[in-house]
Structure formats: C-alpha cells, structure tokens
Structure 1
Amino acid sequence: MFELAPEAADDWWEVEALYDLCFGPGRTALSSYRLREAVEPVADLSLVARDPEGLIAGAIRYWPVRIVAGSDRAHRALLLGPVAVHPTHQGEGLGGVLIRDSLDIAARHGWPRVMLVGDAPYYARFGFDRLDGVTMPPPTNPDRVLGRALTPGAWDAITGQVTREA
C-alpha cells in the first residue's frame, strides 16, 4: 500500500532523482520546462507516494500556466507533469492513483482546467483530449497537447499560446 501526501521541501532531491531515473537527466531540455522556470509548483497538488518502507515510489507535480489569446485575454490552467513511478512499482496502478487523486484535489480547489503534453491513448482514460488551438512552446508535437475540463465547458473556445504564470 502507498501513502499519498503533499510533497514537502525535504522531498525535493528524492523527487528530482526519481524524475531523472524515469525520464533521464536531459528531461529539463523539454519545452514544457521553459514554462516551469522560476515558477513554484502548485503545492496542494504536488504529491508523493511513499511505499511501506517510507521511500518515494511515485510523484506528480502541477504548475500554473496561462493560455494567452490576443493581448487582453488570458486563461489560467494547470500544467500536469511530470508524473513518475519508480520502475520497481510500475504496473501497480500508482500513476493512475496519483493522477486521479490530484485531479480530484484540483477540482475541489476550484481549478477549471488542466493540460499536459503526453500520450493521448494513456491519458484518455483520465478524461484528457487533444487541445486544438492551444500552442505549447516549440518544439512540441501538437497531437500531444491534451486537456481536461474540471468544470463543464472550461476548455470551450479557449485558444492561444501557453505561457508561464508570472
């Protein structure tokens, strides 16, 4: 069994090591990391899952972003990711638990929408669909830009460039 808790400051290095293990140290070169620079993750939604020995077996983080359409319209959203599960616990459903539980918390805290860059067949089971007209910094494959409304219609008619929240 796993115990989920908000990521604490003391967890940072262990979580970073998990992300490096799962995605490689070059992960920070991805375009989504440009949106995370100099921005703190959303503390209430950044979770760790500890195994019975107290080791971090999985982690998920969320970041505040804006979708800017024109000069006067910006819509807040959450950028999900990264989510990682230690290789010794992959296939146990822990990634799904982290995603579902954190999405529930985000909805309860009033966030209207979530987006990510990922594999559509995997994330479809959590209610994510391709976002047409929402553009991530290059180079990002537009087919991998996915979103989920946490409130009805939250993605309706939203288009534009994803930017960092200042």
Structure 2
Amino acid sequence: MVDEMEPQLPLSEGELLPCGIVIDREGDWYYQGSRMHRADIVSHLCQHLGRDESSGLYIIQMGKQRCYLEVEDTPLVITGVLHTEEREGDKPEQLLLAIKHLETHEPLDRESLWIGEQNVLYCRVMEGGIPARFLRPAYYQLAEFIHEDKEQNRFYLSLGGKHFYIG
C-alpha cells in the first residue's frame, strides 16, 4: 500500500526518467495511480521540487539525482492567506501564503500574481521558482485586498498603501 511505504523513485543522474508521480489540480499527489497519504513524504518531496531548464518538466531533485513528474496544472497550490498588520519597528504589512503539504507560511511576492484561464489566480513561490494556484478558499481570502482600477480596466492588490497590478 502506497501510504505505508516510501515510494522508490527512479532517480537518475543521466537520463531524466518519470517518477511515476502525478499531481492533480487540487495539489493531491499520486504514485503509480494511488493517492499518497503520508504527509511527511509528500512534504519532503515538495521541498525538492524544481524545474528542468532544458525540457521545462517539473522534477524532484535530490543531490545530482532527479526524475520528472506529471502536473495537471501547478505543482503547488495555495490553501490559505494570512494577513499580518504593519507593526512599528517590525515587518511591514504582508500576506503570508499557506502552501498545501508544506508546514510553513511564505510571504506573497506581490508582483508575481497573474490571472490564468477561467480567471484562476496564480503566483510564484519558493523564491519565484515554482508557480502555485490559489484554491478557492485562498482566492476569497486574497480577494479582500484586490481592487479594480476602472480607468485602466485592471485589477490590483492593495497592501501597505501601495498598488500591485495583477498580470
């Protein structure tokens, strides 16, 4: 049973081989067709996500070994947005993202937002290296900070007294 053992990934130093992993639109991971239930394993694999520059494929890389995985939309999804107020002498007002399968919150890169097909909202995470899709609950949490510029017919994120246009 997949959730009881760690997947034996075909990590290779030469040819880029498939991992046998598929990530669906909701950010759920499947190994050889079975859903991966071990949060610790999925979290560990998420921390080793990357992109192969020559093929454009998403990969898991551990040291020099790597394999590619299939991704239905984005390899990571945003499950929640936490707003932190500006405090004197401390960090400025910011939005922190909860990323499925990762136990930490990451500050939103406000300039990385874009709207995809069917008005789905995306951003870049993990130091800008990986795209992530906002799940519906996270989208609604972020929507509180989004406004329309009717003159430019564009939307922007308003945070800390500044406007960051989306797209």
TM more than 0.5: no
Q: Which has the higher contact order (CA 8 A, sep 6+)?
A: 1
TM (norm. structure 2) is: 0.27
Considering only CA atoms, is the larger Rg found in Structure 1 or Structure 2?
2
More helix by share: 1
